[in-house]
């Protein structure tokens, strides 16, 4: 697991701004279409090198201050979502960058994952890797 420390708040803010810009640069056109009510799949690692599949659902906050925050220009590529996995079956809410939403799921696919207790489905994985391969060979 990587840990980054900062000497000053300014250094930390600059680091997060840089990371956000790098994520913005990786956005694919179809990812910009994610909206409230959409579901997605993300594959990442657990911090120890093991893959973890995360299922998310984008929602609108009932709190005006959240909606105001998400309406700010620097939040344009982030979505409020609740994400679930084998590690966090009860779900966790937060904002997530659209560049790390690897596959759009239908509501039925999301509900099927929920019924499987967030266990990944091999067809979802195959579809994800097929999409990634197509993107890698398309100029």
* Residue-wise pLDDT tens digits, 23-70: 999 999 999 999 999 999 998 888 888 888 999 999 999 999 999 999
Domain residues for the domain of 120 are: 9-137
| 20 domain-assigned | yes
CB 114 within 8 A of CB 84: yes
Q: Which residues contact 109 (CB under 8 A, 6 or more apart)?
A: 39, 124
Residues 102-136: tens digit of each pLDDT: 889 999 999 999 999 999 887 777 776 666 656 55
Domain count, the chain: 1
CB 100 within 8 A of CB 44: yes
Return left, alpha or beta for 91; rule: phi > 0 is left, psi -120 to 50 is alpha, else beta: left
| 61 domain-assigned | yes
| 106 domain-assigned | yes
| 21 domain-assigned | yes
| 3 domain-assigned | no
| 4 domain-assigned | no
Supply the pTM of this predicted model: 0.82
| 2 domain-assigned | no
| 118 domain-assigned | yes
């Amino acid at each position: 697991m990587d840990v980054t420390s900062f000497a000053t708040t300014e250094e930390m803010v600059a680091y997060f701004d840089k990371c956000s810009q790098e994520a913005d640069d990786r956005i694919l056109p179809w990812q910009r279409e994610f909206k409230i009510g959409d579901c997605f799949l993300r594959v990442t690692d657990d911090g120890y090198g093991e893959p973890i599949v995360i299922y998310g659902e984008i929602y609108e906050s009932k709190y005006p201050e959240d909606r105001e925050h998400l309406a700010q220009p620097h939040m344009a590529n982030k979505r409020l979502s609740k994400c679930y996995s084998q590690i966090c079956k009860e779900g966790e809410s937060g904002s997530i960058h659209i560049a790390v939403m690897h596959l759009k799921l239908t509501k039925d696919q999301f509900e099927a994952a929920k019924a499987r207790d967030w266990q990944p489905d091999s067809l979802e994985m195959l579809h994800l890797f097929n999409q990634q391969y197509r993107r890698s060979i398309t100029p």
